[in-house]
């Protein structure tokens, strides 16, 4: 409806009615009462307008669609319009709140950290990942300047230079992070954090693996090539010397073959393309094979205690034999002649346990957490004498993981070591469906 009709026509009619009423009064009581009637009518009209203006002012201080005042005349249309506008505003605010809640919920599920700041870098909001990456606490640090919360020289230089077109990499709280500031709107900025600590660790492990594998293969190849050159340059070499060279080359070839076999085994154990196919394992038969291998390695140089009191389990017989054999082989290598070795298979309240305990040289505590790393050696100078590939315990660990078991290592220097694979109770063959 046109404002002319809504506001001016009713106002003109009210004034006209006041004039008419005053004219009737003046006709009967004289000109003075005419003026008095005009003044009283206009005063009442003005008082009503002031009253509704006051009520409108009070409502504007605390707008609420449920307590919007009622009006008279043109004020009815005014309050009706305000009511509609207020309801639309409340609806828009509700939708905005819902979208904001969805946005924050989505941000909490992101693998990267998200920090929202104003144009002068004061913290407005961040997701839990950003709290972990940067050590923030939204409840405590809100409305604080981000440069006071992230104490990193690289980050400070990044902020000072203002070159936000490229991200930077910093080390913060023992994490390696990629930070990138993205400017949006006129008074907002987003700081995105990406944790590359794990990927860096994996890349380093990959580089170390390649370097170590190359080093392990280089030594036997050097020996083989050296003897081949000697035999090629000296065709009339004595048969005894030539036979010695061939024997050494065969040993080095077997060493390379063992290393390649172990690397292929480890690759297969780590691959998701080769899932385990559980079968009932006759543990007595398997342990007899392991004990037989022990005698072949020890050649009577060690005292053996064998305990077989455990139950059959479900799993891969080939993989478990490989893991058990690696533990027994290590015990033989690192236990001096005349030392004692115990191989046991027992049941516990939490499941079956295979343990190899030796009276060898032992391992200091700082090495225990790294023993299952590929090619990790406690004493690199002793690697040739022990003839290990450096992959045995890595294979044992992955076999244990594939059987939902746990490799536990206990050792003390000069006392000996105990390596045990602790199987869950569910692995018992009697519990299999």
**432: pLDDT strictly greater than 60:** no
Cα dihedral sign, 51-53-59-64 = positive
pLDDT one-digit tens code per residue, 20-30: 877 877 777 77
pLDDT for residue 379: 65
**Where do you find CATH 3.30.565.10 in the chain?**
279-431
Mean pLDDT of the 236-260 span: 84
Structure token pair of residue 51? 């009253």
Structure token pair of residue 294? 């022990």
Which DSSP state fits 65?
G
Name the H helices within 109-179: 128-134, 138-141, 153-161
- Report the alpha-carbon distance of residue 418 to residue 408 in Å, rounded: 8
Pair 406, 421: CB distance under 8 Å: yes
Q: Look at 382 and 353; give whichever has higher pLDDT.
A: 353
pLDDT for residue 273: 72
- Report the alpha-carbon distance of residue 84 to residue 76 in Å, rounded: 12
pLDDT for residue 382: 52
Fold adopted by 279-431: Heat Shock Protein 90 (3.30.565)
| Residue 22 neighbours by CB distance under 10 Å | 20
pLDDT for residue 69: 66
Nearest Cα neighbor of 282 from 325, 324, 314 is: 314
pLDDT for residue 7: 59
Mean pLDDT (the chain) is 83
Q: How confident is the model at residue 212 (pLDDT cuts 50, 70, 90)?
A: confident
pLDDT for residue 4: 54
Q: How confident is the model at residue 65 (pLDDT cuts 50, 70, 90)?
A: low
Most confident of 144-153, 178-187, 225-234, 250-259: 144-153
Q: Look at 184 and 309; give whichever has higher pLDDT.
A: 309
- The CA-to-CA distance between both ends of the chain, in Å, stands at 80
pLDDT for residue 400: 92
Q: Look at 401 and 76; give whichever has higher pLDDT.
A: 401
Task: Compute the 3-state secondary structure of the chain and give helix, strand, coil in percent, each to the nearest 5.
Answer: 60, 20, 25
pLDDT for residue 101: 81
Pair 343, 328: CB distance under 8 Å: yes
pLDDT for residue 239: 83
Q: Look at 65 and 212; give whichever has higher pLDDT.
A: 212
pLDDT for residue 425: 87
- Of 60-69, 87-96, 192-201, 354-363, minimum mean pLDDT range: 60-69
pLDDT for residue 6: 56
Fold adopted by 199-270: Helix Hairpins (1.10.287)
**Where do you find CATH 1.10.287.130 in the chain?**
199-270
Homologous superfamily of domain range 110-195: PAS domain (3.30.450.20)
**291: pLDDT strictly greater than 60:** yes
- Report the alpha-carbon distance of residue 360 to residue 330 in Å, rounded: 10
pLDDT for residue 354: 95
Pairing assessment for the beta strands 123-126 and 279-281 based on DSSP bridges: unpaired
**Where do you find CATH 3.30.450.20 in the chain?**
110-195
pLDDT for residue 284: 92
Structure token pair of residue 42? 């206009």
Q: Give the neighbor-by-neighbor strand order of the sheet with 416-422.
A: 303-308, 340-348, 351-358, 416-422, 406-412
Mean pLDDT of the 338-344 span: 93
* Percent of the chain whose predicted confidence (pLDDT) is above 90: 27
pLDDT one-digit tens code per residue, 131-175: 999 999 999 999 999 989 998 888 999 988 888 888 999 998 888
pLDDT one-digit tens code per residue, 360-410: 888 888 888 888 887 777 765 554 454 566 788 988 999 999 999 999 999
**103: pLDDT strictly greater than 70:** yes
């Amino acid at each position: 409806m046109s404002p002319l009709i809504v506001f001016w026509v009713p106002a003109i009619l009210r004034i006209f009615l006041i004039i008419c009423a005053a004219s009737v009064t003046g006709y009967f009581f004289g000109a003075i009462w005419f003026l008095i009637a005009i003044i009283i009518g206009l005063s009442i009209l003005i008082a009503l307008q002031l009253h509704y203006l006051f009520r409108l002012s009070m409502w504007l201080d605390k707008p609420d669609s449920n307590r919007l005042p009622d009006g008279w005349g043109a004020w009815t249309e005014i309050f009706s319009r305000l009511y509609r506008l207020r309801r639309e505003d409340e609806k828009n605010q509700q939708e905005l709140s819902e979208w904001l809640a969805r946005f924050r919920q989505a941000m909490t599920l992101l693998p990267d950290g998200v920090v929202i700041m104003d144009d002068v870098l004061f913290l407005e909001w961040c997701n839990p990942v950003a709290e972990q990456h940067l050590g923030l606490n939204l409840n405590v640090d809100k409305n604080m300047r981000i440069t006071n919360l992230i104490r990193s020289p690289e980050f400070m230089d990044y902020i000072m230079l203002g070159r936000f077109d490229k991200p930077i990499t910093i080390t913060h709280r023992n994490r390696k992070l990629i930070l990138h500031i993205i400017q949006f709107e006129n008074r907002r900025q987003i700081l995105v954090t990406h944790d590359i600590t794990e990927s860096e660790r994996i890349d380093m492990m990959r580089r170390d693996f390649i370097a170590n594998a190359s080093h392990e293969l280089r030594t036997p190849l050097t020996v083989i090539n050296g003897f081949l050159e000697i035999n090629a340059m000296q065709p009339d070499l004595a048969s005894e010397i030539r036979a010695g060279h061939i024997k050494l080359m065969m040993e080095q070839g077997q060493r390379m073959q063992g290393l390649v076999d172990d690397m292929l085994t480890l690759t297969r154990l780590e691959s998701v393309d080769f899932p385990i196919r559980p079968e009932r394992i006759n543990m007595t038969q398997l342990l007899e094979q392991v004990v037989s291998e022990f005698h072949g390695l020890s050649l009577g140089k060690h005292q053996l205690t064998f305990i077989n009191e455990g139950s059959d389990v479900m799993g891969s017989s080939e993989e478990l034999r490989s893991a058990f054999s690696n533990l027994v082989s290590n015990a033989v290598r690192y236990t001096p002649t005349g030392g004692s070795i115990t191989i046991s298979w027992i049941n516990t309240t939490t499941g079956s346990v295979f343990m190899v305990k030796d009276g060898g040289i032992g391992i200091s505590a700082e090495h225990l957490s790294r023993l299952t790393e590929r090619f990790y050696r406690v004493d690199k100078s002793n690697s040739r004498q022990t003839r290990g590939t450096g992959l045995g315990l890595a294979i044992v660990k992955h076999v244990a993981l594939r059987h939902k078991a746990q490799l536990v290592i206990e050792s003390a220097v000069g006392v000996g070591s105990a390596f045990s694979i602790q199987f869950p109770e569910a692995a018992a063959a009697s519990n299999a469906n």
